[in-house]
Amino acid sequence: MKERPILFSGPMVRALLDGSKTQTRRIVKNQPPADVSPIRVAHYHPTVITRTGDEEPGAEIFGAYSDDGEWGSKCPYGEPGDRLWVRETWQGPMWEEGTWDPDTDYHKPEFCEYRADGGPIPEYVDFEDNLHQGWKPSIHMPRWASRITLEITGVRVERLQSISEADAAAEGVESLRNEGEYWKDYLRSTERCDELICINARDSFRTLWDRINGDGAWAANPWVWVVEFKRI
């Protein structure tokens, strides 16, 4: 079992915490060719070229590969049974003024604040009594500050637009119930109006994908890793 970090935005962190998000899709960096043969996801031995120019099976890896052997890619997120620890925007370690205890280990999530929780921008005083205010970027979060750990339960590869309605809901898009069930539009919603709607989860996920990856990202329809997980 291996552990790896993974970044999530604030809305997706909240979806992880409330249990509505059990999947994530990430673009396959080494995209298959347009005429790729059927793709499988499993352990396999990629072909390597020796110093003498001969081809031979390489070390076993877990990832995706085409039936004809012309394309393959190692999964950067791991395999079922591996774990992902979540990086999110944060600040810490922190403690109340006058409560510092030299015998306490403050390098724990309980002494951190997280932007996804919706609290105010934290203020803190350094060891020289200088006042600071702000968040730390998720990319800089160390393992000790992570409060969410996920166990991978499944991995597959598919075209982005192949996502089903059920899988779109499992991506954690926000459902809105106003005279029926609707879903958040992540492209048009603003701080003033947070409930502009989509009529289904799949369309909501389309807006989320374009918001995260840029205009036209959904239309590009790339191959993506589909990583399923459970929170532990």
**How far is CA 37 from its chain centroid?**
28
Q: pTM above 0.85?
A: yes
How is residue 171 annotated by DSSP?
Answer: B
Query: If you search the block for the tokens 């921008």, which residue do you land on?
Result: 121
Structural domains in the chain, sorted by start: 3-29+76-86+148-231 (3.10.400.10), 91-138 (no CATH)
pLDDT recorded at residue 140: 96
Using CA atoms, how far apart are residues 154 and 225, in angstroms rounded to an integer? 10
**Do residues 117 and 54 lie in contact, with contact meaning Cβ atoms separated by under 8 Å?**
no
Strand, coil or helix: what is 34? Answer: coil
pLDDT recorded at residue 125: 67
How is residue 102 annotated by DSSP?
Answer: T
The one-digit pLDDT tens for each residue of the chain (232 residues) are: 999 999 999 999 999 999 999 999 999 999 999 999 999 999 999 888 888 887 888 899 999 999 998 899 999 999 999 999 999 999 998 877 666 788 889 899 999 999 999 988 888 766 667 777 899 999 999 999 999 999 999 999 999 999 999 999 999 999 987 655 789 999 886 555 555 789 999 999 999 999 999 999 999 999 999 999 999 9
Instruction: Give the list of residues 6+ apart from residue 146 with CB closer than 8 angstroms, or none.
Output: 5, 85, 86, 87, 88, 109
Q: What angle do CA 213, 217, 221 make, to 5 degrees?
A: 130
pLDDT recorded at residue 124: 74
Using CA atoms, how far apart are residues 151 and 78, in angstroms rounded to an integer? 10
pLDDT recorded at residue 132: 76
pLDDT recorded at residue 56: 82
